[in-house]
Every structure is written in structure tokens, then in C-alpha cells.
Structure 1
């Protein structure tokens, strides 16, 4: 039997966006993520969340997602932990973002970035809590 791959952490996720300025306004402004420097030679923006990063990569020819969160929350998504889900929900609603509470009844919601990429926000009450 061959040895198994031992995955020890998740480093980043790459998300395609059609308009970098519009996406930066969402990820930096609405979500309040901390942008970090990057040394690549194509349009994009990197965000640091603890030991994890979100890489936005611009593709102006991108066909945006047709995910409808009101039909199902079982879509490809990135999940982020928040300290105050209600405050996050109110900020998203104030920015006219789609908000769908989790169908499971747990303290989580789903939203979308300007290109329709789904994002889950889950209330984290203590260290190590996961959904």
C-alpha cells in the first residue's frame, strides 16, 4: 500500500472575479478583510485571515456564477468564521447583499460576492469551533 498524503493545513483559496475594483470594494469594504502585498504579475488581490489567504484573480471574460442562495445553500463556497453573526448580517443587508440563513438552523449565513461566488459566515463562539 502506498503512503497517504498528510495534509496539515489549508493555505489559500483562489477565486476568479470579473472586475477587481468591484471585488476589492466588497472584500475590503463590506467584509473588512485585510489586504496583503503580492508579487505576481497579473491583476489580483490577496487577503490574509489568520494563516489562510483568499486570492482574488481577475478575469474580465469571466462568466459569473448563477448560484441562487434562496434555492439551496449547497453550493461551492468559502466558509469564514465571524465573532458576531447578527452584526455581519446587518452590515451585508445595509450593503444590499443577498443574505440567506443556513437551512440547518445553526448560526451561519450565506452571501455572495459581486460575481456570485458564495461565501458562508459562521458564528465562532470559541477557538476551534467549526461547522
Structure 2
């Protein structure tokens, strides 16, 4: 996925997440909070696997992170995790570490989006944050 395609994805699609959680905002908020709490340690595990050259573990960890990110409608994170997963066996350590750093920055964007939308009583249907 090109940088432009990645930028066109929403960092957090609240409407999609609400739909997946059957309108349960409290559940959505708890799951986002858990995701943002565990993301740093998951990235640390990915970094360790990259540095150790364990490309199978890199692909597996990235795949798991991608699934969680997709479930939570954090599309840019999911796309970045997918890129790490698919390129784990071919890209250099430095390239994979750069992709991981970008994913960490995307987690910060998700955190900012959560803070912006957590005070909104009822997001507009179909509203996306970019």
C-alpha cells in the first residue's frame, strides 16, 4: 500500500466500530483502551523479533495485530500491520523497523482520535476521522 493510500484510510472509524459493537459505546471504549494499552508491548515484541531475525514470528505478531486493528476499525494501523506481515520475509531489518516506527506513530494518532471522540455524545453516522 502506498503512503498516499494509507493516508486516505481513516485512523479510527467510530461509526463502523459502533456498528461492530452493536451500539455498545462502553464496550467500544473499553476495547480501544485495552488496544492502546497493549499496543506498546506488542510493538516491543515485534521489534525484538525483527532484531532477532525471526521473520516467522514477525509475520505472526503483525497478523494478530492487524486482526485486532481491523476489528476496532483502526484502518491505518491495520494496513501498516498488514504491510509488516507481508514483507516480513523479504524486507531488510531496517525497513521493517521503519514500518514498525510508523505503526507506533499511528497508535498515537488513534489515541488522539479516541480522545477527540470520547467526549462526543453521539458521533454522526458515517463520520470518519482522517
- For Structure 1 versus Structure 2, the TM-score category normalised by the shorter chain is under 0.3
Larger radius of gyration: 1
Q: Flag the structure with more relative contact order, 1 or 2, with Cα contacts below 8 A and sequence separation at least 6.
A: 2
**Which protein is richer in helix relative to its size?**
2
TM-score by length of 1: 0.25
TM-score with structure 2 length normalisation? 0.25
